[in-house]
Structure 1
């Protein structure tokens, strides 16, 4: 049975792409027939490794598409490209990327699938699949964020359409409970299938570097502005420590302005994106997660896997499920900048505590290793096949 994953852009960066490829690479290596349907392609070379056994189908190739051809087909395509999408939910954060052209390409491809399993990877795709996939195709919808953060119109669509999925894969216990209650009137089975970590490449940090690290898209959700504010307090007491932030995004200039304003230009560095965050983690001594909200907090698990102790806001909903407060990391009241700074200073000044958290954290996150999570995916696939 072919298993297809419908993703925004498998060539791109970001947590969803990384976690999808962790699973698809694992399944391909274990003999499953895997296809990734990438709605977009915005770069020629994939940011993360894709197993060569995976078939990749690109529906709209932004990089290699020729825009100036004069034949009728190209003219029609260019006209459709300027028209807004009608089939992707308007509250999808990436709605502006979609168009009438991508609607047609997605609809035609999905309608060409007669059997197998389709895994959809964002709310608008879950809704799309529930409406347009043929009845003989089993659908697993994935939720990478929690229900509470969505706009009201999207919440209503989720409750209406998720109920007809075969499975809904959630990332945390809280999300699993919430969705079971929300979708109790439907036939969908809600199951926790958390994110996984790949095999370690960079090794374990010796915790000697005077470096705090953070990573993620440079967007308001990730709270890097809050982190810079907290690090200003840290810097006043420990000016020999640096903060490195990995990632790219629309907030880059605003963050650079804030670094300038706080006179931290010699201490805080925006490093850009990296496909090998574990290699960078090995060079650091503390990981800081400053998000205003998270679907899960995959990078917390990666940091702990590398033996790097974590200070995290106790934001909804993932960090509190991963970190055991004061046992293998520190959870801080959400949004409390001074408490966040105090926790960073506490770890800076206590290497024994860093080493304790490091040891406990590495043991904690073994439950997220790909062999563990991959087995759960195989069990779920088997359940769908024998139904």
Structure 2
């Protein structure tokens, strides 16, 4: 039985790529036949390590495209690539990357899959597969955000098509309850399968560095502008501390302008991306999560794994499920920049509290280790060997 994961770009960086590879690497090491279908490839070398036993299929290889190719096939492809996608939902965050060309490639490839399990990793892929995948293929859709976050048209499409999935994997208890209620009446089974953390490569932080760390795509969702606003307050009392923000994205110039505006250029540093955030975490004393919303907050778990206490906005929907308030971290009223600054300063000035949080956090996040989450995936795969009447699915046995 082949298990296929459909992703945007497995060669890129980001939380979805990292967590997909945690799972697929585990499954490959456990003897499963795993294949990753990457719609795009923008890098020649993958950002994260991929188990060599995993077969990678790239549908649209941008990284290897030859600019001097003037063949009719290439000219036709280039023309199609300039036309808007008609099959990817227009509310998809990455809609502008898709085109009529990627529609054709994705649709044609999907039609070649006649058996096995297909795991789809974003709403537009969940919808796409529910509409166009062959009936013999079992579909496990992954949902990384709470339903309330989406625009109205995406909500309508989710309600219309998610019920046709076989499984919907959600990240939090609240999401599981919400989607179960929303999709009742469809054949889909909603099941909580949280993201997992890989084995730690760095060391546990000694918590003696005057460094706060944050990481993620430089996009409005991650709220790094709010974090810089908070650090402006912090810097007045703790001028010897630094804030390091890891990641790349379209907000980089705006964030740099904000740093310059507040004259924080010696204190707030945009570090770019890193393959090994755990190594960087081991050099920090506090992790700050300033997101406006999160699907889960995987980096919270990674920080705790490295013994770094977390200050996080209590944004929808993941942080409150991970952090035990004032036991292994601090949840701050959503969007309250002044309170966020106060919570940072309280930890900055209290080494014993940092160590207390760190010790509890290390124990807390063992539940997210890949050995535990991997077993849930194996159970889900085995459940998909049978249909609702407990009869073997012919194409899978």
TM-score interval, smaller chain: over 0.9
Aligned to 2:78: 78
Match of 1:354 in 2: 354
Distance in 2, Cα, partners of 1:63 & 1:363 = 42
Distance 1:74 1:265 in 2: 46
Counterpart check, 1:226 vs 2:259: no
Matched with 1:299 is 299
Equivalent position of 2:148 in the other structure: 148
> Secondary structure of 1:58's partner?
strand
Q: What residue in structure 2 maps to residue 19 of structure 1?
A: 19
Residue of structure 2 in register with 1:252 after alignment: 252
Whole-Å Cα distance in 2 between the matches of residues 197 and 386 of structure 1?
A: 29
Q: Distance in 1 between matches of 2:77 and 2:354?
A: 57
In the TM superposition, what are the counterparts of 1:203-242 in structure 2 within 5 Å?
203-242=203-242
Deviations 1:269-290 (A, max 9, x none): 0000001000000000000000
- Structure 2 stretches of 5 or more lacking a match? 388-397
| 2:166 matches 1:166 | yes
Taking structure 1 as the reference length, what is the TM-score of the superposition?
Answer: 0.99
Q: Give CA deviations for 1:295-319 in whole Å, capped at 9, x if unaligned.
A: 0000000000000000000000000
1:256-271 aligned within 5 A: 256-271=256-271
Question: Is contact 1:312–1:332 with CA below 8 Å preserved after alignment?
Answer: yes
Structure 1 residue 154, shift from structure 2 partner: 0.5
Indicate if the aligned counterparts of 1:67 and 1:78 stay in contact, CA closer than 8 A. no
CA distance in 1, matches of 2:169, 2:210: 39
Matching residue of 1:180: 180
State the shift of 1:67 in Å.
4.2
Provide the secondary structure at the position in 1 that maps to 2:39.
Answer: strand
Tell me, which stretches of 5 or more residues in structure 1 are unaligned? none
Deviation at 1:75, TM superposition (A): 2.0
Contact 1:3 1:35 in 2 (8 A): yes
- In structure 2, distance between residues paired with 1:62 and 1:72: 18
Measured after TM superposition, the shift of residue 89 of structure 1 is 0.5
- Give the equivalent residue in structure 1 for 2:281: 281
Q: Which deviates more from structure 2 when the two are superposed, residues 67-76 or residues 335-344?
A: 67-76
Structure 1 counterpart SS, 2:176: helix
Say whether the 8 Å CA contact 1:332–1:339 is kept in structure 2. Answer: yes
1:366 and 1:78 map into 2 onto residues whose CA distance is: 48
Q: CA shift at 1:82, angstroms?
A: 1.1
Structure 2 counterpart of 1:138: 138
DSSP 3-state at the match of 2:385:
helix
| Correspondence for 2:390 | none
* Distance (whole Å) between structure 1 residues aligned to residue 76 and residue 67 of structure 2: 11
Aligned to 1:386, the other structure's residue is in SS state: coil
Give every structure 1 segment of 4 or more consecutive aligned residues whose post-TM-superposition deviation is greater than 4 Å: none
Which 10-residue stretch deviates more, 126-135 or 59-68?
Answer: 59-68
- Matched residues in 2 for 1:146 and 1:48: separation? 27
User: Hey, what does 1:336 align to over in structure 2?
Assistant: 336
Deviations 1:189-229 (A, max 9, x none): 00000000000000100000000000000000000000001
Give how far 1:68 is off.
4.1
Task: Give per-residue Cα distances to partners, 1:226-277, cap 9 Å, x unaligned.
Answer: 0001011111001110000000000001000100111111100000000100
Distance in 2 (CA, whole Å) between partners of 1:53 and 1:126 is 25
1:38 counterpart = 2:55: no
CA contact (8 A) 1:89 1:154 kept: yes
When the two structures are aligned, how many residues end up with a matched partner?
387
1:157 matched to which residue of 2? 157
Query: Is the CA contact 1:67–1:74 (under 8 Å) kept in the aligned structure 2?
Result: no
Measure the CA separation in 1 of the matches of 2:252 and 2:76: 37
Correspondence for 2:394: none
- Contact 1:23/1:370, CA 8 A, preserved across alignment: yes
Task: Name the TM-score, length of structure 2 as normaliser.
Answer: 0.97
Asked if the contact 1:28–1:53 (Cα under 8 Å) also holds between the matched residues in 2, the reply is: yes
Deviations 1:103-146, CA, capped at 9 Å, x for gaps: 01000100000000000000000000000100110000001111
Q: What's the CA shift for 1:180? A: 0.4
User: Could you say what the CA RMSD is over the residues aligned between the two structures, in angstroms?
Assistant: 0.7
Q: Distance in 2 between matches of 1:66 and 1:281?
A: 39
